């Protein structure tokens, strides 16, 4: 396993982050526990979840992780545990978003479900345009003082949200955001305009979610009968972009690599990226992801990938102006 610092912090995390969104809805608790044990065995120490994962049973995924932690054996001490706050968790007022009221309650609920006394990386799942940053940081600072949160991160933020958040945190002499979890893959490169530059400027580690574009980059032309790659959204994308997908899969065949490994390898080759989130549904899927750490992409291959899956043209404003 390879490791890197999370952004500008001294925290060391594995270059692959174990995403747990499938745990519960698509992966049984027993199988999820086995996957987490295997992840530790191969050196993955970065686990990501959210307080609403569990499909119709919000918080179920955190409960599954908590039951795994409760088995002991140093499980909690070996992982960097990340979860999220923002989404609505109930029908009453203030059971969502980023008011200080909700942040406090959501943190306590996550700690209970996860059966731990602290969250290593507490991520805001979305920006809250209605709550002032001073209020948000007041709540996060209190959780840090109490030892319930170690670092704070963001998810699905725009570049200017990152700048505003960290400028406000600096005025309060607070560390601020240390990571940003963004949708980022070969088919979706909008974050290259302003989010990645903002992360570099403010020292945030980038944690891409959906690195395989919901299965589109995982080898869809072979005829998948189950899982996300068999979904209607993937089929529509392939119909609309068949030539690109064909070129993509041919390039991977010519390299002698699986498409999923090349897609992950492309993200890992970006200095701004700390760790793509892999979301294995099965043990086989976890094992297959490990090959990505060994994929090497030369300049010619990177150029060919840019031709097949063009990005926005670099950072703003040069991507669209002089």
Own/partner pairs, 96-105, CB within 8 angstroms, 24+ separation? 97/128, 97/130, 97/131, 98/124, 98/128, 98/131, 98/136, 99/128, 99/131, 99/135, 99/139, 100/135, 100/136, 100/138, 100/139, 103/136, 103/139, 103/140, 103/143, 104/139, 104/142, 104/143
165, two tokens: 């958040």
State the CB neighbour count (10 A cutoff) for residue 30. Answer: 9
CA distance 256 to 181: 30
Q: What CA–CA distances, in Å, run from 232 to 28, 215, 256?
A: 24, 12, 29
Q: What is the CA radius of gyration of the chain?
A: 19
Q: How many CA atoms lie within 13 Å of 60's alpha carbon, on the beta-carbon side?
A: 16
Using CA atoms, how far apart are residues 261 and 249, in angstroms rounded to an integer? 12
Active site residues: 53
């Amino acid at each position: 396993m390879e490791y890197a610092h999370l952004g500008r912090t001294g925290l060391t995390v594995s270059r692959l982050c174990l995403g747990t969104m499938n745990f519960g809805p698509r992966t049984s608790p027993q199988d999820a526990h086995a996957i987490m044990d295997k992840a530790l065995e191969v050196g993955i120490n970065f686990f990501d979840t959210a307080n609403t994962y569990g499909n119709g049973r919000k918080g179920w995924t955190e409960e599954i992780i908590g039951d795994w932690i409760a088995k002991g054996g140093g499980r909690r001490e070996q992982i960097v545990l990340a979860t999220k706050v923002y989404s609505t968790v109930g029908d009453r007022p203030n059971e969502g978003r980023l008011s200080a009221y909700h942040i406090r309650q959501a943190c306590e609920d996550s700690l209970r479900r996860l059966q731990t006394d602290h969250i290593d990386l507490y991520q805001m799942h979305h920006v809250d345009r209605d709550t002032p940053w001073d209020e948000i940081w007041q709540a996060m600072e209190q959780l840090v003082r109490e030892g319930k949160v170690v670092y704070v991160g963001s998810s699905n933020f725009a570049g200017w949200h990152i700048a505003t958040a960290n400028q406000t945190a600096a005025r309060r002499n607070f560390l601020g955001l240390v990571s940003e979890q963004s949708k980022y893959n070969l088919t979706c490169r909008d974050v290259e305009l302003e989010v990645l530059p903002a992360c570099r400027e403010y020292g945030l580690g980038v944690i891409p979610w959906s690195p395989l574009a919901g299965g589109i980059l995982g080898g869809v032309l072979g005829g998948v009968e189950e899982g996300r790659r068999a979904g209607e959204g993937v089929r529509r994308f392939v119909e609309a972009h068949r030539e690109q997908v064909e070129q993509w899969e041919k390039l991977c065949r010519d390299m002698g690599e699986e498409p999923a490994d090349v897609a992950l390898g492309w993200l890992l080759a970006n200095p701004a990226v700390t760790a793509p989130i892999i979301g294995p549904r099965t043990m086989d899927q976890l094992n297959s992801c490990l090959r990505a750490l060994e994929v090497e992409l030369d300049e010619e291959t990177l150029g060919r990938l840019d031709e097949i899956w063009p990005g926005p043209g670099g950072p703003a404003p040069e991507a669209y102006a002089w």
